[in-house]
Amino acid sequence: MNFLEERITKDGIVKEGNVLKVDSFLNHQMDVALLDQLGQAFYERFKDKGITKILTIEASGIAIACSAARYFGVPVVFAKKSKSINIDGDMYVAEVESFTHKNKNNVIVSKKFLRPGDRVLIIDDFLANGCALQGLISITESACASVEGIGIAIEKGFQHGGRVIRNLGYDLYSAAIVEEMNAENGTIVFREQN
């Protein structure tokens, strides 16, 4: 087991509705040393891709993206969730359905911060059905920038997002892939990765 799988096994809580709670170390209280390990793992995986920018989505992706950015030495841009329908032309916009809240948000990124030719690493905390990633990919491509890689902390491999994104040809790396999890007895099984 790698460092993240061990931590999920120790502190992750399986909830009904295919939700894994990791709020004691990743997305409420945060273990900064673990975030640093994640940042380093993403760097090792994507360091040869000439990354110029890291793109994530608020809120839970931001800390992980910042840890990675320390290794890459590039800025982080986070897509903001916006209720407004009056979005001006200075923004790239994508509609994203939230897996955890079951609502839809527009997410926006200023055109100032994502430029044609940027080589983008997309980072997020979870991958479930892939809506958040599809939004970030669409924003990157609207900017005529390229998606050079996608780094996810925890992919739920029993949901279809990972398969869809890989089938589209994106270079997706997840530090931990949950193959199955059981809310009744709390067990979590990970996919073997090399």
Contacts with ligand 5GP, residue ranges (CB under 6 A): 19-21, 27, 60, 99-100, 124-132, 156, 161
Select 60 or 69, whichever has its Cβ closest to ligand 5GP.
60
Query: Smallest distance from the beta carbon of 135 to ligand 5GP, in angstroms?
Result: 8
Query: Smallest distance from the beta carbon of 186 to ligand 5GP, in angstroms?
Result: 14
Collect all residues with Cβ–Cβ distance below 8 Å to 121 and sequence separation of at least 6. Answer: 42, 46, 49, 51, 53, 54, 55, 68, 72, 148, 149, 150, 151
Select 8 or 145, whichever has its Cβ closest to ligand 5GP.
8
Select 185 or 194, whichever has its Cβ closest to ligand 5GP.
185
Query: Smallest distance from the beta carbon of 116 to ligand 5GP, in angstroms?
Result: 26
The C-alpha R_g of the chain, in whole angstroms, comes to 16
Structure tokens at 96: 């994203």
* E strand intervals along the chain: 13-15, 19-21, 53-57, 76-82, 91-97, 104-110, 119-127, 146-156, 172-181, 188-190
Q: If you count them, how many residues does the chain have?
A: 194
Select 5 or 124, whichever has its Cβ closest to ligand 5GP.
124
Query: Smallest distance from the beta carbon of 183 to ligand 5GP, in angstroms?
Result: 11
